[in-house]
Each structure stands twice: as C-alpha cells, then as structure tokens.
Amino acid sequence: MTMNSNIEPRPPVKTDNNANQTHYYVSLVIAIVIGLAGVFVRFIQDSFLFTSIANVLLIIASVFAIRIVLQIMK
C-alpha cells in the first residue's frame, strides 16, 4: 500500500509584519549595551558624578528601547 505524496507548492504568505527586520534587533542590542554600561558605571565609585552619568545612561537606554519596541508593535 502506497500513499499519495503529491505535495503542491504553496506561494509564500505575504504579511504586513515588519518585526523581523534586522535593524530593530541591532537597535535593541545597542540599547541594552547602553543600559548595561549605565549599570556598570553606577558601581564604579559612589559619587554624585558617576551616579548622575549612570542615571542618564539608563534613561537614554530605556527611552531608546521603548521607542524601538513601540515601532515593532506598530
């Protein structure tokens, strides 16, 4: 007994989803690296200057990452 194995090729599915574009993920990696730099700067020394730099880096990374995620969801 043999089974019929004729598989008809299907055309590729076209979607309006652009979330798989590489530039989104590269941008997210950059945002994560900036955030990690902010965390590491926070623990260098306990001073106002380093804490302020760390806070600025964390805020920049957070805003950048949220913008990218919202662009992906759009």
Number of Cβ within a 10 Å radius of residue 42: 16
Strands (E), the chain: none
What DSSP state is assigned to residue 25? Answer: H
pLDDT tens digits for 19-61?
788 899 999 999 999 999 999 999 998 899 999 999 999 999 9
Q: End-to-end CA distance of the chain: give it in Å, rounded.
A: 52
Check: pTM over 0.75? Answer yes or no.
Answer: no
Residues 6+ apart with CB under 8 A from 42: 50, 51, 54
Q: Answer whether 35's CB lies under 8 Å from 54's CB.
A: no
